[in-house]
């Protein structure tokens, strides 16, 4: 599979908005929370806002990468300032780190290593800035299993954060430990 990872362009905005809607709806359905339409819409708007910050700042406010296959966007990843959620949940202990997020792979292309390729590319971008750590969080159970397998136990595990049986997890990741 010849996946091309690149920076997004202004011409990608419409496709990326559609991609966010598709992947976020799919994620919420698989998590068993597809009925939370306000949360879904907030999540979609947040990702669109992050993309807009990237486009307006040329990667300074947020920095996106997209995975493309045969001219179609099939994955995204980005980094930016540590979120208010992470700052609150860690009492500010990770606020100095950049946060990696918006790690999405099209449902028909999941479990094919595309997320790993995106993660490797974003780690290279961070290292090129002289950084060797980042933080990452998730409230999605499927993503939590993936990140725990990749990064080990979360640095912060907040039981029942999103409701009974729905924890929130936060990792502090050393990039060198991934290579």
Question: What would the pLDDT profile of 25-50 be if each residue is shown by its tens digit?
Answer: 998 888 788 888 988 899 999 999 99
What's 57's domain CATH number? 3.40.630.30
Question: What would the pLDDT profile of 116-136 be if each residue is shown by its tens digit?
Answer: 999 999 999 999 999 999 999
Distance of CA 155 to the CA centre of its chain: 17
In order, the DSSP letters of 127-173 are: HHTT--EEEEEE--HHHHHHHHHHH-S-SEEETTTTSTT--EEEEEE
Half-sphere exposure at residue 136, Cβ-oriented, CA atoms within 13 angstroms = 26
Residue 47: domain span: 4-178
What pLDDT sits at residue 163? 79
Question: What would the pLDDT profile of 63-73 be if each residue is shown by its tens digit?
Answer: 999 999 999 99
Give me the number of domains the chain comprises: 1
Question: For residue 55, is pLDDT > 70?
Answer: yes
């Amino acid at each position: 599979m010849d996946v091309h990872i690149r920076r997004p362009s202004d011409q990608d905005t419409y496709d990326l908005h559609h991609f966010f809607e598709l992947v976020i709806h799919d994620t919420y359905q698989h998590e068993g929370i597809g009925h939370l339409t306000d949360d879904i819409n907030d999540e979609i708007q947040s990702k669109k806002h992050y993309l807009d910050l990237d486009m307006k700042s040329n990667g300074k406010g947020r920095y996106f990468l997209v995975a493309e296959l045969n001219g179609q966007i099939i994955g995204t990843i980005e980094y930016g300032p540590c979120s208010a959620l992470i700052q609150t949940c860690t009492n500010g202990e990770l606020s100095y780190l950049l946060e990696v997020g918006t790690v999405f792979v099209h449902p028909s292309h999941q479990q094919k290593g595309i997320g790993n390729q995106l993660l490797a590319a974003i780690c290279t971008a961070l290292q090129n800035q002289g950084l060797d750590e980042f933080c990452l969080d998730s409230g999605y159970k499927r993503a939590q299993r993936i990140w725990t397998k990749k990064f080990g136990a979360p640095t912060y595990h907040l039981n029942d954060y999103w409701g009974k049986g729905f924890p929130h997890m936060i990792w502090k990741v050393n990039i060198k430990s991934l290579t």
